[in-house]
Amino acid sequence: MFEYMKKSFLTGVGLALRSKKEIEELAKEFAKKSEMDQEQAKKFFDDIHAKYDDTKIKLDSKIEEQIKKVISKLDIPASGELKKLADRIDKLADTIEKSKK
């Protein structure tokens, strides 16, 4: 029963969408209600932190990937492309200025 509850608590998206402080509070409450000893509670707490960090990184990556897909479909230039274009414009402006002299 304990392992089932622990796995339920550690599920991906639900975990990632909560704040780290909220997760810590839930973990403390869970540890207290399940009557864990200090060593078990520390291990559980460490597991929660590791899972939270891992899930957050994966979720951020997936969101970034989806944003890139949307930008690509909308044919919106990336900031790097805009920078290159601005640099080319600056070079052309310099060339025009030099040719006027």
Whether 40 contacts 72, CB under 8 Å:
no
Residue 54 vs residue 93, higher pLDDT: 93
pTM for the model stands at 0.49
Q: List, for residues 13-39, the tens digit of each pLDDT value.
A: 566 666 777 777 777 777 777 777 778
